[in-house]
Amino acid sequence: YNHGFSLARMRAVHDAIVAAGGESPFSDWIDSRQAREVPEREVTTRVECADYFPQRDAALRAHATQIDPEGWFFAVPREVELATWRDEEYELAESRVPTTLPEDDLFAGIRGTEHAR
């Protein structure tokens, strides 16, 4: 799987922050991406994971080399993220098991998992 942040996700969060009267950390990023005509990546898999945002954030803060704790990622209020984009998005790069798109489970089809039975 490839992981990244889709333009649709960034726009949704950006718009929600601006609508709430805040300053979006994504304005320049969105403008730059549109100016360069970067094609949108194909999202094949969406995993609902809002219940795990606190664990995700704690893990990322514990490893500051992955994401700057003072940077744009943590500048988004979690309540805005919870209201606008509760999924993590992935692009299936390659599969060695049968799959059907779109997916909502990264482990479907792998032997020994509940979904593979």
Give pLDDT, residue 113: 57
Do residues 43 and 90 touch, judged by C-beta distance below 8 A?
Answer: yes
Segments making up each domain of the chain, as ranges: 2-116
| Spatial CA neighbour of 57 closest among 78, 82, 72 | 78
Per-residue model confidence as pLDDT tens digits over 44-92: 999 999 999 999 999 989 987 888 888 888 889 899 999 999 999 999 9
- pTM for the complete prediction? 0.80
In angstroms, the CA 54 to CA 32 distance is: 30
